[in-house]
Chains A and B, each alone.
Chain A
Amino acid sequence: MQIYLPIAGLTVNIFVILAMGIAVGFISGMFGIGGGFLMTPLLIFLGIPPAVAVASVTGHIAASSMSGAISYWRRKAIDIALVFMLLAGGIIGTAFGVWLFTLLRAVGQLDITIGVSYVLLLSIVGVLMVIESVRAIMRVRQGKPVELRRPGSHMWIHGLPFKLRFKRSRIYVSAIPVWGIGFIIGFVGAIMGIGGGFLLVPMLIYLLRVPTATVIGTSMVLTLVTMASATVMHSATNHLVDALLALILMVGGVTGAQFGARAGQKMRSERLRLLLGLLVLAVGIRFAFDLVLRPENLYSIRLMETDT
């Protein structure tokens, strides 16, 4: 069944979009991430303008993190105080990201920025995840116990002022790195159309030493709020959120996520991390090819907004 997407301005097959939503939802449920870093590129490869893809995916991620956050809430695995502190930076980061997005779009460098950001971020994160998980798998093979120590020794971050105590996570850290992390996630999310879960979780674990019990739930609530506000801000400034596209993705995404979560629980966590790392790396490499290879057509057209 063909459906016309009013903001993207093109006709797509509704089942293709729905299937993509389910597939990405499955992966996101399996790994406990939003899946924006997969969804946005898929939409771009499908021919949806990158700006519309980024703006619309924010709604999709808000929906999938909402359903995740609720189940973590029931398990009391969310550190609300930490969420609020991260949000203080996150909202500013999102606003700054949406502002830069609008500016880059006006000077015609938005698509390239999205491309370069994807390559850099995904290859770095992908390589780190692969290395870390391969080490963990080798440790298991050699019969050594999985390391129980909290990763990261006493770093300079823990010497910063404005220390705060987060009871549920049982950590005592400075507010500055918490705001900083929130800012980065909000900023990156608005520009790239990703929730940033795959960035936030390692940052919380390695930099703030948040225990694994609360890390995913906390990350999901933060993603939920930054992405919901990114949806509103993108709608208010760029008018690029395609409600129909977002709705189809949401329905597919939340359905897929439920099955993905069940599949994920059956796998060993280090294998899961290796798979995710390879996936992240593959998307990064795919973007790198697009940037480096000589494009088929050196010219491209962008329509200016009509002021009617």
Chain B
Amino acid sequence: MRQGFSFVAALAAVAVSAGTAASERLVASLSTHRVQVTSNFTGEELVLFGGIETDAATQPRRSGHDIVVTVAGPRQTAVTYRKERMLGIWVNSDARVFEDSPAYVAVLSNRPLDAIASSETLRRLQIGLENIPLLQRASVNIAEAGSDDPFRMAFIKIKSDQGLYREVSNGVTFLAPTLFRASIPLPADVPVGTYEVDVRLFADGTEIARRPAPFEVYKSGIEQTVTTAARDHGILYGLTVASIALLTGWLASVIFRRD
């Protein structure tokens, strides 16, 4: 009996000591795991529902909970060019290759990132557009550019203008103290592939729980057929397009024949 009591006490002590690290658990679910891009696809909004599970041992948080959802799209290699004036016209001169950069990034949170954690923490956890890792290659050497690198900043700006990179500080809404909802905006030209969703729970400026929730964007129907054919059977595809062209031209001359 005495032994049993001390065991419970020990357990409680462990729970208390771990309280700052792991007493809350995250659950998250997406409205769909497969997004289909069809011929009339004009973008979609994916909804992520999540809950924070607490138990009796959970300590109340002074500042409440914060959620940061990071969505990273399929990896692409992209070249960023800088134009310079040469002989009066603007020509691409300098270039950087961004190796395996995410084609899509959305950082959603319930309030501004700098209010959730210190910039030091955000940098360490690679949270926010300012801190996402982007490997760039100048010619032979690969390096991760600092967040103030002009090519990196330009890359993020262009991606943001295209709606493919975004940081939404009110993208997560708390429906109840332990229940939240995040909407992931997917623009019309969203690249196909696997998307990683990383849900992080913050309290008092530190990360206390994390949960992944991947989804997939895929083309279907005629789009997929066309893309695959163009890539894998180039000559056949070209012959088909050329034949369709000749056929269309011939049809037109038959339909509109006047003599």
Interface residues of A (CB under 8 A from B): 1-4, 6-7, 9-11, 59-60, 62-71, 74, 108-109, 111-112, 116, 224, 227-229, 231-237, 239, 241-244, 246-247, 250-251, 254-255, 257-258, 291-292, 294-295, 297-304, 306
| Pair A239/B39 contact, Cβ less than 8 Å | no
| Pair B248/A251 contact, Cβ less than 8 Å | yes
Contacting residues, chain B, for A231 (C-beta < 8 A): 238, 241-242, 245
Interface size on B, residues (CB 8 A): 62
- Which residue of A has the minimal Cβ distance to B190? A9
| Pair A4/B188 contact, Cβ less than 8 Å | yes
| Pair B253/A228 contact, Cβ less than 8 Å | no
Cα of A291 to Cα of B92 in the assembled complex, Å: 11
| Pair A112/B89 contact, Cβ less than 8 Å | yes
B5 at the interface (CB under 8 A from A): no
Name which of A60, A234, A239, A299 has the most chain B CB atoms within 10 A of its CB: A299
CB distance from A276 to the nearest CB of B (A): 22
| Interface majority SS (helix, strand, loop, mixed), chain A | helix
| Pair A241/B241 contact, Cβ less than 8 Å | yes
> Quick one: given A3-B40, A10-B189, A11-B41, are A66 and B235 in contact (CB under 8 Å)?
no
| Pair B242/A59 contact, Cβ less than 8 Å | yes
| Pair B235/A232 contact, Cβ less than 8 Å | yes
| Pair A6/B219 contact, Cβ less than 8 Å | yes
The residue that B76 contacts in the complex, of A244, A254, A304, with Cβ under 8 A, is A304
| Pair A297/B241 contact, Cβ less than 8 Å | no
Between-chain CB contacts (< 8 Å), 17 pairs: A4-B188, A6-B227, A59-B241, A67-B253, A71-B257, A111-B92, A228-B242, A228-B246, A243-B244, A247-B248, A251-B248, A254-B248, A254-B249, A299-B158, A302-B81, A303-B76, A304-B78
Cα of A22 to Cα of B229 in the assembled complex, Å: 28
| Pair A247/B81 contact, Cβ less than 8 Å | no
B4 at the interface (CB under 8 A from A): no
Cα of A60 to Cα of B252 in the assembled complex, Å: 13
| Pair B245/A301 contact, Cβ less than 8 Å | no
Cα of A124 to Cα of B4 in the assembled complex, Å: 97
| Pair A70/B249 contact, Cβ less than 8 Å | yes
> Quick one: given A63-B249, A65-B249, A291-B90, are A4 and B37 in contact (CB under 8 Å)?
yes
- Which residue of A has the minimal Cβ distance to B83? A298
Contacting residues, chain B, for A234 (C-beta < 8 A): 238
CB distance from B154 to the nearest CB of A (A): 4
| Pair B42/A2 contact, Cβ less than 8 Å | yes
Cα of A9 to Cα of B41 in the assembled complex, Å: 11
CB distance from B233 to the nearest CB of A (A): 9
CB distance from B171 to the nearest CB of A (A): 23
| Pair A63/B248 contact, Cβ less than 8 Å | yes
> Quick one: given A6-B226, A299-B158, A303-B78, are A241 and B245 in contact (CB under 8 Å)?
no
| Pair B95/A66 contact, Cβ less than 8 Å | no
| Pair A301/B92 contact, Cβ less than 8 Å | no
| Pair A63/B246 contact, Cβ less than 8 Å | yes
Segment 24-54 of B: residues with Cβ below 8 Å from A? 37-43
| Pair B253/A70 contact, Cβ less than 8 Å | yes
Contacting residues, chain B, for A237 (C-beta < 8 A): 234
B91 at the interface (CB under 8 A from A): yes
B202 at the interface (CB under 8 A from A): no
Contacting residues, chain B, for A236 (C-beta < 8 A): 234-235, 238
Contacting residues, chain B, for A239 (C-beta < 8 A): 230-231, 234
B82 at the interface (CB under 8 A from A): yes
- Which residue of B has the minimal Cβ distance to A254? B252
CB distance from B259 to the nearest CB of A (A): 7
Contacting residues, chain A, for B242 (C-beta < 8 A): 59, 62, 228-229, 231-232
- Which residue of A has the minimal Cβ distance to B75? A306
Name which of B78, B246, B249 has the most chain A CB atoms within 10 A of its CB: B249
Contacting residues, chain B, for A62 (C-beta < 8 A): 242, 245-246, 249
| Pair B237/A241 contact, Cβ less than 8 Å | yes
Segment 138-187 of B: residues with Cβ below 8 Å from A? 151, 154-155, 157-159
| Pair A66/B40 contact, Cβ less than 8 Å | no
| Pair A299/B154 contact, Cβ less than 8 Å | yes
The residue that B245 contacts in the complex, of A6, A66, A291, with Cβ under 8 A, is A66
Contacting residues, chain B, for A6 (C-beta < 8 A): 219, 222-224, 226-227, 230
